[in-house]
DNA sequence: ATAAAAATGTGTTTTTTTTACACTAAGTAC
DNA sequence: GTACTTAGTGTAAAAAAAACACATTTTTAT
């Protein structure tokens, strides 16, 4: 039962009293958008209730907030150096108000001195996850069929998704979920998963071909039992230099 | 010289060590979009430098983040119950990196233990502002002719403007800057100010008339020395009920 | 060798949306 | 009653988005 750990005496592991981080870890696998949730065992009236929540933790003293988020991601998935982004800050008093009747029994624990939560989202290609490193208590859940989570974690997820979609229209985040070399069909599938829709292949290609930083390579797929697709890459340098031209890729 | 205040001993006024709020307060007046900036007196090598920045402050212990933003707005303008929205979170270490050469002399003060800034924007009809309550150090600046601000505050402003424009296309924020009853021309002027452009009157009207929650009243302007315009109102209830139909009023 | 299967890659037509454009109406001031 | 000022309205042209189908290239099975 992590999350109930006592504050360690080693100063290194002391937490900032007031700040915690919750992570919405988006995963992509099999053309589906997923989110990582984890089991929580909650003692209540002599029983142990099983609840689900977003992974989160306290910020440790002398730890950068981003480092907390990275630490959580690594604990949950084993992954490092993954794109993560702060998307919102929540005051806990507010959040408790929203659902306090449901969770009166946890209130005392939450209210002690924790007053702030920073929400992060991250983008993970589930193929990169070594499943043996995935925590026993963690589970990938289909992003559009999420069970009810503790507290206001469903709201937090929805905010994260909104922000992810916004950012995707303004920054080249899509490439965080694609391998170094990718086909346009792979790219399309990722967009479709995140926006929960489908696109016409020809119209999609017409649109993304306007991105000057999307580079066609000479390489073709191999080992596939059909016509091999061409590989493309993302050229970050071109992106940085054409930034001012302001592509808003409304999908 | 506020902002240099020592932490008061009264617990109520203690600040959270690590969190501050910066506010981009958009104002609308005379068909122009403005932003509130404030003077800052910075001691440097025995002199006092005058710099300009966005209003901001620390989050106090036991204060919700939104309350901090509201407090800043009230301090600066005297206004309460104004729409405010969180639009961004940033880590200070990151921000310092961006401009540390410019501000090496402030670094020690900033670096102590402040690690997080939350950006809010708000929308204020300047006619509602009692100018006597506006702080001496505050100034409405034309949004498209902003002077250079301290640190990365120009970047923050640009992010706020981008988010404001985006939100305006997805939510009925426009009505925050309009009186209870308004004419379509008034409405058009607000859009024009925020998007820094002009629209054709007929095309504009065709577009906004698609909003089912924009209600024509029987009332006409009076006391104007020309053909009186019709008043319209915003029906929030209709908006809530037709929300699912997803109007994206791209202007 | 040939046929079947599977996904790639490409252009045109239709529909929808956006833009451009100009005059009459209603009131006030003189 | 004439001049001034802003309100209010429709249509045509251009641009953008959406809908749509088939030939190509590779592997696999026979």
Nearest CB among B66, B89, B91 relative to A91 is that of: B66
Q: C-alpha distances in angstroms, B153 versus A81, B63, B90?
A: 28, 24, 12
**What pLDDT sits at residue B18?**
67
Q: Report the alpha-carbon distance of residue A251 to residue A184 in Å, rounded.
A: 14
Question: For residue B101, which phi and psi values (nearest 5 degrees)?
Answer: -60, -35
- Number of continuous H segments (helices) and E segments (strands) in chain A: 7, 9
CB contacts of A91 in chain B (<8 Å) are 64-67
pLDDT tens digits for range A166-206: 999 989 999 999 999 999 999 999 999 999 999 999 999 99
pLDDT tens digits for range A29-74: 999 999 999 999 988 788 999 999 999 998 887 778 889 999 999 9
DSSP state of B221: -
**CA atoms within a 13 Å half-sphere pointing along the CA-CB vector of A48:** 4
Q: CA quadruple B4, B10, B16, B17: dihedral positive or negative?
A: positive
**What pLDDT sits at residue A228?**
96
CB contacts of A94 in chain B (<8 Å) are 64, 66
- Bridge partner list, B20: B58, B117
Assign a CATH topology to domain B11-170: Nucleoside Triphosphate Pyrophosphohydrolase (3.90.79)
**What pLDDT sits at residue A221?**
94
- What is the pLDDT of chain A when averaged over all its residues? 84
How do A116-125 and A214-220 pair as beta strands?
unpaired
CA of B209 to C1' of C27 (A): 25
- What is the pLDDT of chain B when averaged over all its residues? 85
Q: Report the alpha-carbon distance of residue B131 to residue B120 in Å, rounded.
A: 22
CB contacts of A93 in chain B (<8 Å) are 64
- Bridge partner list, B52: B39
**What pLDDT sits at residue B178?**
96
**What pLDDT sits at residue B15?**
54
- A158 contacts: CB under 8 Å, gap ≥ 6: none
Q: What angle do CA A62, A68, A69 make, to 5 degrees?
A: 155
Asked if the domains A11-170 and A175-245 are classified in one and the same CATH topology, the answer is no
**What pLDDT sits at residue B215?**
97
Q: Report the alpha-carbon distance of residue A215 to residue A213 in Å, rounded.
A: 6
Q: Report the alpha-carbon distance of residue B70 to residue B80 in Å, rounded.
A: 7
Contact A109, A3 (CB under 8 A): no
Contact A110, A70 (CB under 8 A): no
CA of A194 to C1' of D17 (A): 21
> Which position has the higher pLDDT, A66 or B5?
A66
Of A228, A17, A36, nearest in space to B18 by CA:
A17
- The answer regarding whether domain B175-245 maps to CATH 1.10.3720.10 reads no
* Average pLDDT of the segment spanning B101-128: 71
What are the residue ranges spanned by the domains of chain B? 11-170, 175-245
* Average pLDDT of the segment spanning B80-102: 76
pLDDT bucket at A238, cuts 50 / 70 / 90: very high
Chain A and chain B share a number of CB contacts under 8 A equal to 47
What is the distance of C-alpha A165 from the center of its chain? 12
pLDDT bucket at A133, cuts 50 / 70 / 90: confident
**What pLDDT sits at residue B106?**
53
CA distance A73 to chain B (A): 18
Q: Is B158 in CB contact (< 8 Å) with chain A?
A: no
**What pLDDT sits at residue A239?**
93
Share of chain A above pLDDT 90, in %: 61
**What pLDDT sits at residue A64?**
80
**CA atoms within a 13 Å half-sphere pointing along the CA-CB vector of B77:** 27
- Bridge partner list, B216: B232
Q: Report the alpha-carbon distance of residue A26 to residue B32 in Å, rounded.
A: 41
Contact B126, B82 (CB under 8 A): no
Q: Residue A79 above 70 pLDDT?
A: yes
**What pLDDT sits at residue B132?**
83
* Average pLDDT of the segment spanning B159-163: 95
**What pLDDT sits at residue A2?**
38
Contact A24, A120 (CB under 8 A): yes
Q: Report the alpha-carbon distance of residue B97 to residue B101 in Å, rounded.
A: 8
Contact A141, A37 (CB under 8 A): yes
Q: Residue A104 above 60 pLDDT?
A: no
Residue nearest to nucleotide C5 (CA to C1'): A226
Question: For residue B133, which phi and psi values (nearest 5 degrees)?
Answer: -90, -10
**What pLDDT sits at residue B115?**
67
Angle between helices A184-195 and A153-170 (to 10 degrees): 140
Neighbours of B104 (CB within 10 A): 10
Q: C-alpha distances in angstroms, B93 versus A65, B65, B100, B187?
A: 10, 20, 10, 41
Q: Is B201's CB less than 7 Å from nucleic acid strand D?
A: yes
Q: Report the alpha-carbon distance of residue B190 to residue A36 in Å, rounded.
A: 43
Q: CA quadruple A239, A243, A246, A250: dihedral positive or negative?
A: positive
């Amino acid at each position: 039962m992590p999350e109930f750990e006592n504050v360690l005496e080693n100063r290194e592991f002391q937490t900032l009293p007031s700040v915690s981080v919750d992570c919405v870890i988006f995963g992509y696998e099999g053309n589906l958008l997923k989110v990582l949730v984890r089991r929580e065992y909650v003692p209540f009236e002599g029983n142990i209730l099983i609840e689900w929540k977003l992974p989160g933790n306290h910020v440790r003293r002398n730890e950068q907030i981003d480092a907390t988020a990275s630490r959580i991601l690594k604990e949950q998935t084993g992954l490092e150096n993954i794109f993560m982004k702060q998307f919102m800050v929540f005051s806990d008093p507010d959040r408790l108000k929203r659902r306090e009747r449901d969770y009166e029994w946890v209130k005392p624990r939450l209210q002690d001195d924790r007053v702030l939560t920073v929400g992060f989202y991250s983008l993970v290609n589930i193929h990169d996850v070594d499943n043996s490193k995935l925590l026993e208590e963690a589970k990938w859940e289909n992003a559009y069929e999420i069970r009810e989570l503790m507290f206001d974690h469903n709201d937090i997820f929805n905010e994260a998704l909104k922000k992810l979609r916004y950012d995707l229209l303004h920054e080249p985040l899509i490439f965080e979920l694609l391998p170094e070399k990718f086909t346009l069909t792979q790219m399309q599938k990722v967009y479709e998963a995140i926006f929960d829709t489908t696109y016409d292949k020809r119209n999609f290609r017409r649109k993304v071909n306007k991105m000057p930083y999307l580079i066609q390579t000479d390489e073709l797929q191999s080992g596939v039992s059909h016509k091999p697709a061409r590989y493309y890459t993302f050229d970050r340098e071109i992106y940085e230099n054409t930034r001012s031209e302001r592509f808003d890729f409304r999908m």
